[in-house]
C-alpha cells in the first residue's frame, strides 16, 4: 500500500526544478566531457548524466540540453567522443561547463580522433561512439550511442561532482 507523505513536514517539497536540483546535488556523479565535430569546429560540454546502457552491444547514454551551445552539433552528428575525467582535471571540467568559454583553446590539449571526433588528452578513459538515437526528455535529449572504439587505460583517479563542486575520490 503506498504511503502518503506528510506535506506539513518542512523537509517534504512538491516536485519542481529546484527540488530535483537539490536532490541531485547530494548524488555524487562521475564527470565526463562529451565532444563532437560541429560545422564551425569542435564542440563539447561537461556531463554528469553518463550511463552504461548495454554490454551487448556496448551502448551508453547521456543527456544534453536543447538550449545549450553544443546541441546543434549533437543534434546532427553521427559520432561523439566520451571522456572520463580524472581528479587532476577540475579546471577542464569547469571550462567545458562554462557557457561562452573557449573550450578547445589553450590550455585544453586535444586531437582529431577517429570519425573526426575531438579526443581530449590525459583523460582516464575515452570512447568514440556512433549515435543511434536522440530521445526527447523535457528540455533535454537523451542520446543513445553505441561504442565503436576507445582507450580505458589513462592513469589516475576519477573526478566526481557533488554538492555543486568538483571533487576527488576519497578513500
End-to-end CA distance of the chain: 40
Residue 153's contacts (CB-CB under 8 Å, 6 or more residues apart) are 125
8 Å CB contact between 70 and 44: yes
Average pLDDT, the chain: 93
Stated pTM of the model: 0.90
pLDDT of residue 63: 97
Predicted confidence (pLDDT) at residue 16 exceeds the cutoff of 80: yes
Q: Which three cell numbers mark 162?
A: 557533488
Q: Cα(63)–Cα(6) distance, rounded to whole angstroms? A: 33
Q: Which three cell numbers mark 143?
A: 542520446
Predicted confidence (pLDDT) at residue 105 exceeds the cutoff of 70: yes
Q: Which three cell numbers mark 4?
A: 502518503
Confidence of residue 8 (pLDDT cuts 50, 70, 90): low
In tens, the pLDDT along 82-94 reads 999 999 999 999 9
In tens, the pLDDT along 134-159 reads 999 999 999 999 999 999 999 999 99
Tell me the H-state helices in the chain.
Answer: 17-25, 71-76, 90-97
Please provide residue 33's backbone torsions phi and psi, each rounded to the nearest 5 degrees: -120, 130
Amino acid at each position: 500500500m503506498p504511503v502518503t507523505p506528510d506535506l506539513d513536514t518542512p523537509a517534504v517539497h512538491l516536485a519542481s526544478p529546484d527540488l530535483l536540483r537539490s536532490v541531485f546535488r547530494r548524488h555524487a556523479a562521475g564527470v565526463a566531457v562529451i565532444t563532437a565535430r560541429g560545422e564551425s569546429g569542435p564542440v563539447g560540454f561537461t556531463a554528469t548524466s553518463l550511463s552504461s546502457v548495454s554490454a551487448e552491444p556496448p551502448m551508453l547514454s547521456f543527456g544534453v540540453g536543447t538550449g545549450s551551445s553544443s546541441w546543434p552539433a549533437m543534434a546532427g552528428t553521427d559520432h561523439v567522443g566520451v571522456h572520463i575525467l580524472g581528479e587532476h582535471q577540475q579546471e577542464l571540467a569547469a571550462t567545458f561547463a562554462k557557457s561562452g568559454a573557449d573550450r578547445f583553446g589553450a590550455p585544453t590539449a586535444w586531437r582529431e580522433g577517429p570519425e573526426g571526433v575531438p579526443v581530449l588528452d590525459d583523460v582516464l578513459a575515452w570512447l568514440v561512439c556512433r549515435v543511434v538515437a536522440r530521445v526527447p526528455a523535457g528540455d533535454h535529449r537523451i542520446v543513445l550511442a553505441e561504442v565503436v572504439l576507445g582507450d580505458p587505460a589513462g592513469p589516475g583517479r576519477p573526478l566526481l561532482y557533488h554538492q555543486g563542486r568538483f571533487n576527488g575520490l576519497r578513500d
